[in-house]
Structure formats: C-alpha cells, structure tokens
Structure 1
C-alpha cells in the first residue's frame, strides 16, 4: 500500500494533490472522516496528515495544520543542520589535502567577495560581522538558539547594537522559551528600547544573522569556530523566508506562554512530552529546547508523576492519552500570526 500510494502521489506535505487536499480539508472541517474516504489518497496516511481515531478505528482524524507546519519547519532545520555539517567536513578535508602538498591558494571563486565565503577562525568571523554591521542601514534579523543568554555575551554585542540603533536600524530576534528566564536579556530590553523586538519558540534553528536581507552568517561547524558568509540572493531570500515563518509562529517575549490546559503540566513539560512522543533521547530534547540534560530529566520525572506513569513505555502511552503528543503553543502562535511587529523586546 505504501509503495503504491507513493508512486501515485509523489509529493510532500507542503504540496498535496487535489484529491488529498479535498479529503484533508473535509477532515479538518468535520473533525474526522470515514476511513474509506481516504483509501483513494494513501498519501494522507503516509504523510501522517490523517491518523486513526482511537475511539472508532473506522474513522480517521486530521493532524492539526499547526502541527503540519511545525513538522515542515523541523524538516528545514534538519536540512540546514545537515548542510552545515557537510560544509564543515568539506573545509576540514580541504585543510588536510592542502597540508599534504605545501601552501595551496583557494580558487578565485571561493575567495574574498564571493557569494559564499568560508570564515575560518573567530577573529575572521568577528571582522566580517563588524564589516556587515557598519554597512547595515535598515534591518537585522537573528536566530539565537540555546538557553539563557550569558550576560557577557550580551555585553559584548551591546556596542554594535547601540550603533545600529543610532542609525535607525530595526532588529528582530528569535530565542527559545528558556531565554525568557535570563535577567541579562531583560536588562538588554531596557537599554535598547523600541529598536529591538524578540519572540520565543520551543525550538529554533541554528544561529542565523541577516543584515539588510543581503548578507547572512551561519555556523559552518559544531563549535562555531568557522562560519559561512552568504551573499547569494537566492540563499539569503530562502533564509529570510525561514525566519519570517518562524517569527509568525513565535510568541512575543512580553506575552505569557499559553496554558497547556492540563493541571500540573507546564508549557515546557508539554514541549518535552511532544519530543518524547517522537522518540527522541534526553540529550537531544535538552539541546533542542535549550536546557541541560539534568533539567530535562527532572521535567520528565515530574511528567511521569503527574500522568501516573511507572515506566518510559507507560509514559509514552499516557502522553498520547492526554493529547500531549502534538506541538504545544498552537493557540499562542495563532495569536501572533498577524503583523510582524508588535512588542518591545530584547535580543
């Protein structure tokens, strides 16, 4: 069935066939559809856009559109992360081969002024960032993964940010929800005033900085000692699109996180429950949410206690029964899906 459906419906969740779109739309409007309605469009089951109704296996219920968007963005994140790893491996391989035959110069196409430039070393990265900061005149967009921002990191970037504000540059920043608990970020808010806005998500992509929608910087290896400077219009436009989609899903820093609707379970614990339901290990969950493994395990222990689960297997069942296996914060995301600028926040 899976292979047959894939041949007849060769598409992803981002572009359904006409028949699949009709059935899925009907399922969203009515809350469920008979299983026989989905037989001509196996792509809906293969892409997990429909799944069995636990109360009546003859019917299928739709995956929420918000969850579909979350999956697509998560797929983008995985693709970008994989590209970063491949670039890092390629640069490391070049260095090994270059060392075998003495000094080797890079081809002109990969040198200064090219559309994609590899910046090797923190000093070179900083110099390129300073140059882009000085040239920036209208807008800076950033994605800041990880947890609470260290105060010394914010202090180091404060002079550049104040210089941008003095030129009337607007700044928008995305963080994980955990960053809300950092006093340094709140202090930064007061210093920058209306020049900077920030929103938060359960998860964000790897670090990204965009200047005037013309140049972007992304890490090229895991320890961020190498970076890519991107000036190719198509690549920069793609990254801007990713940022804007995440921005629409995010929640203003000054707005409260949406309530989970389940007594005793916090928003963060719901986020952890959704990732557990996907089969992720503790270390992966901690990294994606910007918390420590120890904190992650403490939340999992509280989840188990609240849901009455005696084992990890039983916890997975309880999570599904409680409806915690979907993406959290859908209501909060919808509340800010309108105009892009609304809250005075910090980066």
Structure 2
C-alpha cells in the first residue's frame, strides 16, 4: 500500500501534496492526529513528517517545522556540495582529456615530420641539400635504370664532393647496365676510395639514405614528388633492404660471373629468368635498365643460341638449360670496389633507359 500511495504522492518534504498539507497542518496545530487520518497520505510517514506517538501507537505526532526546515537546508547543502564535487570532477576530467589532446597533437606533428611530402624539384633539391649538410657518417644510395647521362651525374657532384671533404663514406648500388656508362666511370675515378659501388641485375626504385636517419624515395613516376622519411622504423627497414641487396651485389671493378653456357651473356641470362616468370618485354627492359629495343635484340639472340623458333619454344629451351632461375653471382661478397656519388645524389631527374 505504501508503494501505491507513494506513486500517487511523488513529492518531497519541500512541497507537500494538498492532502498531506491538510493532515500535517492539523497535526502541528493539535499536537497529534489519529493514525487512520494519515492512511490516505503515507507520504507523511515516508518523509518522516509524522511518526508514531510512543505513548499511544494509534496516534501520530508531527516533526517540528523547524526540524523539517533544518533537514531541507541540509539536503540543499548536500546537493550543492555534490554539484560542486561533480563540477570539480568534470574540470579535472576536462584537464586530463585536454592533456591527452595536446599529446595527440604533438604525436600528430611528429608523425607529419616523420613523413614529409616534397612537391616539386626545387623543394626536393633543397631538402637533399639540407640532409647533405647535416650528414656526418654515411650515405647509402640505390640507383635504378641504365646508363646515367652525364648531366645527371654532374648535378649531384657538389654534394658528393662536400661529403667526401667531411670524411663521409658512401656506398652506391646500380644495375649491371650502368657499368657501360663512361660518365659513371669518370666519377668513379674522381671520387676515388671515398665511395664503394656494386651492381645487380635489377634493383629497387631510387633510394638515398643519410646517416640512417633520413631517407628520400620518389613518390610518383616522373619523380616530381618525393617522400622525406625520418621515422626510425621506416628508415631502419630501408637500410636493411639496402644491406641485403649489397651482399648480393658484385663490386663494380669485378667482372660479371660467367653463365657457364656458351653464347649466353650475363644480361641474357637475366632476361631469360624474367621471361620464364612470364614478364613482357617492356617490364623486363625497365627492371634491367635497358631499352625495349635492346631487350628484344637480346631475346632474339637467346632464341638463336637456344634454337627456339617461337616464344613458346624459347620458354621450353630456357627451362631445359636451367636459365629459368636467377643468376648466381660469384663475386658479390667482396668488400670493396669504387663508386660514384655525383649521380647517386640526384633523386628527381629520370634516368635514361637506353644502352649505347
């Protein structure tokens, strides 16, 4: 019953219902009221405005209005105190989240500086000049493509000479085709033992690493966009890739290994392996740094040497003589060889893919 009555009188002691007001006022005036008078308004008992008379349990005596006011004021005080505590907690939480936000902003700034997009040749060159000036120990470069035109090699010469003057050691990776460029050989002689250079059948896209702290890679096909990478994990990964390629490469001063098959050159062996993988002529030419025309000339010689009358037959002959796997370099473990840095430190310009 009490619960039912409470549903009918949803109020607190600060605002009595009309029936409760009449009964409580009568109890205050008379000093007590019969218990049955309060049955229609159980809220008075629930709010402790009436309580049993200890001398006669059939009667209810009122709580004094002064005590009720004190109780109300205490409740208001408690509510205000609770509100203040909630406000304090909200302020503390706001400050905490604000601190996290500033950390996130700092982290975002760090991420933005860890990977920077360089738009345009002038910005790329300026960033590389800055990295060159800050470099103190080592430069690692990967130079894909074929023979490097002399104007490309000349553009990076000032950086190479500045690095050599500070005792910076340099290592460069090229494709085997680059061995035939006179401009590269001239740079090798100029730079002396300041650099080492090795070659592979094919390498990854252009890469330049300074002191293993900053790396530059192209960001589009024509190299008018580049990425400057300073994130330690990214730079470390690229350095590991370089070292593994370096161990497979052949010093520039060492001859290329013989294929062991009469009439088949090292380059034709590489072309045969890529043909066996199903690559088209244009893809093979790009990966080896030669022109498509040169690539097709080598394929024609392969067909003639192996006695193949068609591309399908050529694939069968390549597998029969064991040319369908990668070449096995015999001199890649050497420690040295001289190299070129002038052409190595020119990221933006696209290299020539022709072989002369």
| TM-score, scaled to structure 1 | 0.66
Alignment deviations for residues 138-169 of structure 1 (CA, whole Å, 9 cap, x no partner): 00000000000110111111111000000000
- TM-superposed CA distance for 1:112, in Å, is 9.9
- Bigger RCO of structures 1 and 2 (CA < 8 A, at least 6 apart): 2
1:161 aligned onto 2:160: yes
**Paired positions, count:** 236
Q: Which residue pairs with 1:193 in the alignment?
A: 192
Tell me, yes or no, if the aligned pair for 1:171 and 1:195 is still in contact at 8 Å. Answer: yes
- Counterparts in 2 of 1:292 and 1:110: CA distance versus 1, 3 Å: farther
Shift of 1:342: 1.7
Q: Distance in 1 between matches of 2:213 and 2:160?
A: 18
Secondary structure of the corresponding residue to residue 114 of structure 1:
helix
- 1:282 maps to which residue? 281
Match of 2:333 among 331, 337, 344: 337
Q: After TM superposition, give the deviation of residue 343 of structure 1 in Å.
A: 1.8
Instruction: For 2:329 and 2:150, locate their aligned partners in 1 and report how far apart those are by CA, in whole Å.
Output: 32
Map of 1:144 onto structure 2: 143
Is contact 2:197-2:336 (8 Å) kept? no
**1:1-347 matches, cutoff 5 A:** 109=108, 114-328=113-327, 330-332=328-330, 335-337=331-333, 341-347=335-341
CA distance in 2, matches of 1:144, 1:331: 19
Structure 1 pair 112/238, CA: closer, same or farther in 2 (3 Å)?
closer
Gaps of 5+ in 2: 1-104, 342-356
Cross-structure match for 1:103: none
Give the conservation status (yes or no) of the 8 Å contact 2:306–2:314. Answer: yes
Deviation at 1:200, TM superposition (A): 0.2
TM-score (norm 2): 0.64
What is the CA RMSD across the aligned residues, in angstroms? 1.6
Q: Which has the larger radius of gyration?
A: 2
Determine the structure 2 residue equivalent to 1:95: none
* SS of the residue 2:117 aligns to: strand
Alignment partners' CA distance in 2, 1:113 and 1:138: 26
Shift of 1:113: 6.8
Whether the 8 Å CA contact 2:175–2:200 is kept in 1: the answer is: yes
After the TM superposition, list the runs of 4 or more consecutive aligned residues in structure 1 that deviate by more than 3 angstroms.
107-113
CA drift at 1:245 = 0.1
Measure how far apart 1:331 and its partner are. Answer: 3.8
Shift, 1:344, TM fit: 2.4
- Can you list the C-alpha shifts for 1:151-203, whole angstroms capped at 9, x where unaligned? 01111111110000000000000000000000000000111010011000000
